[in-house]
Amino acid sequence: MFLAFPWQPVQAYKYAGYRWGGSFPKVGANTSGLLINAWRTSASDAIGSWNNAGAQFNFYSQDGSANKMGYYYEQSDVLAYAKTYRRYVFSGDIVKAEIYVNNFHNFNPPYTSGAWHDLRTVRRHEYGHWLRLDHSQVQAAVMYYAIPHNTVKNLAADDINGTRYIYGAR
């Protein structure tokens, strides 16, 4: 006996199950808490990467937005983390988000020698969590759970497909 199933593309990205509201969400990101100019630039570059992914979603820089970026210092392996807040405790669309980078680690910029982590890659990853992508199984993806030292990652097809799945393609 032979069974045939319709072909479906393999999806490695994982969707957290909720998202920013609206048919084409536009979300401001407050970079005023980033005191180093190169860090603001890295945030803008990461925003641009996701905006160019072709999904019906748009980040933009907006000082004063509730969606904040900052930093903290903790001796741990955690490079950064993102938090999202929903309209209600366990349901509803996202209404606010934050990203915090751990200053315990050496980031490029400003470090370019020794062991460093690319700040643009880390921010791309955390913005992916703002979009509600979970960690991917694809090692080349920005949303892969680990970012090795001295590695720069741009969005991979898996990242782009995940965002388009959640928000639709432009």
What is the structure's pLDDT at 1?
Answer: 40
Range of lowest pLDDT (22-31, 70-79, 107-116): 107-116
What is the structure's pLDDT at 61?
Answer: 85
Residue 98 has pLDDT above 70, yes or no: yes
CB atoms within 10 A of CB 166: 20
What is the structure's pLDDT at 11?
Answer: 59
- Our count of domains for the chain comes to 1
Average pLDDT on 2-26 reads 69
Q: Is 169 within the bounds of a domain? A: no
**CA dist., res. 60 & res. 76, Å (int):** 31
Residue 12 has pLDDT above 80, yes or no: no
Q: Is 151 within the bounds of a domain? A: yes
Paired tokens of 71: 């930093």
What is the structure's pLDDT at 133?
Answer: 93
Q: Is 9 within the bounds of a domain? A: no
Q: Are strands 94-102 and 68-72 parallel, antiparallel or unpaired?
A: parallel
Q: Is 26 within the bounds of a domain? A: yes
Q: Structure pTM? A: 0.88
> ∠ at Cα 28 (25, 29), nearest 5°?
130
**CA dist., res. 55 & res. 46, Å (int):** 15
Question: Do 169 and 137 meet the contact criterion of CB atoms below 8 Å apart?
Answer: no
Question: Do 134 and 12 meet the contact criterion of CB atoms below 8 Å apart?
Answer: no
**CA dist., res. 155 & res. 148, Å (int):** 16
Catalytic residue at 126?
Answer: yes
Residue 4 has pLDDT above 60, yes or no: no
Residue 7 — pLDDT band, cuts 50, 70, 90?
very low
Residue 6 — pLDDT band, cuts 50, 70, 90?
very low
Tell me the residue range of the domain where 35 lies: 14-164
What is the structure's pLDDT at 63?
Answer: 83
Q: Is 8 within the bounds of a domain? A: no
CATH number for the domain spanning 83: value is: 3.40.390.10
**CA dist., res. 18 & res. 6, Å (int):** 27
Q: Is 3 within the bounds of a domain? A: no
* Percentages (nearest 5) of helix, strand, coil residues in the chain: 20, 25, 50
Average pLDDT on 28-56 reads 89
Q: Is 55 within the bounds of a domain? A: yes
What is the structure's pLDDT at 13?
Answer: 79
**CA dist., res. 125 & res. 90, Å (int):** 24
pLDDT digits (tens, 9 = 90+) for 52-76: 999 999 998 888 888 998 889 999 9
Segments of the chain assigned E as strands? 14-15, 26-29, 58-61, 68-72, 80-86, 94-102, 107-108, 117-118, 133-134
Residue 138 — pLDDT band, cuts 50, 70, 90?
very high
Q: Which of 118, 126, 158, 159 is catalytic?
A: 126
CB atoms within 10 A of CB 1: 2
Average pLDDT on 71-90 reads 90
Q: Is 4 within the bounds of a domain? A: no
